[in-house]
Structure 1
Amino acid sequence: MSVKGLVSVVIPAYNVGAHISEAIDSVLAQDYSEMELVVVDDGSKDDTADVVETRYPQVTLIRKANGGAATARNAGIRAAQGEFIAFLDADDIWLPGKLRAQIDHLNAYAEVGMNCTDFARWVSDDRGVFPDPLLEIPDQGGMAAGAIDQELSGWVYHKLLLDNFVWTTTVVMRRSLIDKIGLYDESFRLGQDYEYFLRASHETVVHRLSRVYALYRQHAGSATARGIDYNYAARVIEGARAKWGLASPNGECISPREFQDRLHKIHFMCGYVFWQRGNAATAFNEFKHAVRDKPLHLKSWAYALLTGARAIFQ
């Protein structure tokens, strides 16, 4: 039984002792008082859990063995008591007014089970120092707090197949929606959020607020920067197509050609990344799929031949 009006903020954390205080402080600074914070330490090897335990006695801290972000988010969801669940990655931050704008919006639109917001990237200088976050907020031109991005709102499942424009740190979901779609798929080490929000978008109308309400910290220690030699994005969208096809519940859809183009771009991009990392065999497999998806794309053929030859001698 969830507590009406309460927002449970779930923060998975792994080796973010240097950044997690900024994340938590950005939540505590929100102008919404009915909330609980649940931090799930996913087997950190640094002082992440100690920082939370020492500095933030009001936070519910869960310690667990390392299992990945999906397992940590699921542990947080299970412990959460709120009517609403909000997600925040431990190295990112929320901007002032975020939570109030999103909860007010959900209260105003009963048919919306999930909303998200725009965000900006937060990049360090050459010394690794991140600038004052308030200086990183782009000019929003007097945009209203709850302004809706009409292009990226509504039944958006078919649009999400072509572009993952929902970023986890900006998401607030109703607990009732989570009860319907279940927990994160723990078989994904990356891409679990993309799969989860595709699943959600097939069950509910999603609204994206136009204002920038969060900053995405870009640094070498992030999961996406560390990278894994497996193409999770292709697995996510191919799995979604197999389950639900290419159409949203309201009938809007993308074409098979658009989907193939999207797959091609994913395979080509991943192939190039793996090639840059020196993993020719994995890169070859991606370029082989890129050729399958778009046989007339000459660059895919060229890289497939190059990586295939290099893989033989690796």
Structure 2
Amino acid sequence: MPSTPHDLVTVIVPTYNGSQHLAATLESLGAQDYTELEVIIVDDGSTDDSLDIARRSGVARTVLAQENFGVAVARNRGLAHARGRWVAFLDQDDLWRHDRVRNLVDYAHTAGVAAVASTETPFAVTSDRPALEAVGDGRERWPELWINPGQESTLIHGAPYPSVAERTEVITVQRLMMGAAMLTTSVLYEREIAIAAGGCTPHARALDDHILNLNVARMAGGIHRIDTRDLLYRVHPASATTTSPMAGPLLSAMASIRLGGVFPTHPQIGPNVEHLLLGLSETELSPAEQMALLVLTVPRGSRTTWLARWGKRMLRRIVPGRRT
């Protein structure tokens, strides 16, 4: 069915103890200049007042509550209740500029595609700078915009930001096999293709949306991405990151994808996967588990090099102060 600029769009917002930022996130949806919009909020067992904020917001058509089954289950439950021709996910701490839905639907209508993403603009609150620096992974350098507390509205209602480059690209399966290539909240999907692709994957921590994008890209011939920078990605001390606790879940999921018989079996690895591999020795995984993940992740031609790197890091852990 051809897309039209007046198709209903469903936005699914999973929440879990997100009361600190949820009101601003929902404000960004209420500010959209695209009128054919329904919002579904799925609370994943919050113990704070996230559910009350969602119900009082007046933005959501539907507010659902469930036990703490995880964000993937919450996203899938929202998908099951969606009525829109198009669906998208928005995390509880991110924002959408007021023109974002219209930008995506207009492009999908013009290009005739089943999935379209946009680029993002990272931002942070000035009062969070010391805490960001204390995390120790360099995230204090991620934000492009800094705002004072409570000034999210200036971003939501602001004018478009200059693009890094005027371009449209297609994110292919091959690119996604190298590692995550886009944020969860960056993609607008045709609802039918999101469902046919299996939705989000509940067993794959932090990769549930990546596996959805892989399957959508395989079915749609890639995911188009436009450089509108209208996704406002909040960088804060509790942001998800690719540090050691995530290495096991992420690398094992990537290995299962590569060995599953559906996707390319010998992909290259991208920077985020390399970052995880470099941090393997700092995880709580056993040496045997670390070596297995490394061998299953790295292309054959690079395994000797990576095993040597890993071995040197393990020696430094075993013999503190040792120089290798």
TM-score by length of 1: 0.79
- Where 2:115 maps in the other structure, the secondary structure is strand
**Shift in Å, 1:268:** 1.8
Residue in structure 1 matching 2:212, options 167, 192, 196: 196
Change beyond 3 A, Cα 1:290–1:267: farther
- 1:302 maps onto 2:319 in alignment: no
- Contact preservation (8 Å) 1:219, 1:225: no
**Shift in Å, 1:200:** 1.0
Residue in structure 1 matching 2:268, options 222, 242, 259: 259
Aligned to 2:31: 29
- Contact preservation (8 Å) 2:41, 2:60: no
**Shift in Å, 1:308:** 5.8
Structure-2 separation of matches of 1:30 and 1:52:
17
Structure 2: unaligned runs, 5 residues or longer: 1-5, 130-145
Deviates more, 1:32-41 or 1:196-205: 196-205
RMSD: 3.2
- Counterparts in 2 of 1:124-143, with a 5 A limit? 124-127=125-128, 130-131=147-148, 132-133=151-152, 134=154, 139-140=161-162
Residue in structure 1 matching 2:224, options 176, 191, 207: 207
- 1:173 maps onto 2:189 in alignment: yes
- Contact preservation (8 Å) 1:287, 1:301: no
Structure-1 separation of matches of 2:210 and 2:76:
15
- Where 2:34 maps in the other structure, the secondary structure is coil
Structure-2 separation of matches of 1:101 and 1:194:
23
- Contact preservation (8 Å) 1:265, 1:290: no
Identity %: 23
Change beyond 3 A, Cα 1:227–1:79: farther
Structure-1 separation of matches of 2:272 and 2:39:
37
Change beyond 3 A, Cα 1:193–1:264: closer
Deviates more, 1:290-299 or 1:30-39: 290-299
Change beyond 3 A, Cα 1:121–1:269: farther
Change beyond 3 A, Cα 1:261–1:99: closer
- Contact preservation (8 Å) 2:177, 2:269: no
Structure-2 separation of matches of 1:157 and 1:170:
17
**Shift in Å, 1:185:** 1.4
Structure-2 separation of matches of 1:207 and 1:97:
18
**Shift in Å, 1:25:** 0.8
TM-score by length of 2: 0.77
Structure-2 separation of matches of 1:230 and 1:127:
26
- Where 2:122 maps in the other structure, the secondary structure is strand
- Where 1:295 maps in the other structure, the secondary structure is helix
Aligned to 2:58: 56
- Counterparts in 2 of 1:114-153, with a 5 A limit? 114-127=115-128, 130-131=147-148, 132-133=151-152, 134=154, 139-140=161-162, 148-150=167-169, 153=170
**Shift in Å, 1:142:** 10
- Contact preservation (8 Å) 1:10, 1:85: yes
Structure-1 separation of matches of 2:21 and 2:9:
22
Residue identity opposite 2:114 in structure 1: G
- Contact preservation (8 Å) 2:21, 2:92: yes
- Counterparts in 2 of 1:60-79, with a 5 A limit? 60-79=62-81
Change beyond 3 A, Cα 1:200–1:308: farther
Deviates more, 1:158-167 or 1:55-64: 55-64
**Shift in Å, 1:235:** 2.8
Deviates more, 1:12-21 or 1:51-60: 51-60
- 1:240 maps onto 2:250 in alignment: no
Q: Residues 168-216 of structure 1: CA distance to partner in whole angstroms, max 9, x if unpaired? A: 1111100121232122211123211111111111110311011101111
Structure 1: unaligned runs, 5 residues or longer: 248-255
- 1:183 maps onto 2:184 in alignment: no
Equivalent residues, number: 287
- Contact preservation (8 Å) 1:86, 1:172: yes
Change beyond 3 A, Cα 1:58–1:160: closer
Structure-2 separation of matches of 1:142 and 1:196:
27
- Counterparts in 2 of 1:83-98, with a 5 A limit? 83-98=85-100
**Shift in Å, 1:239:** 2.7
Aligned to 1:286: 290
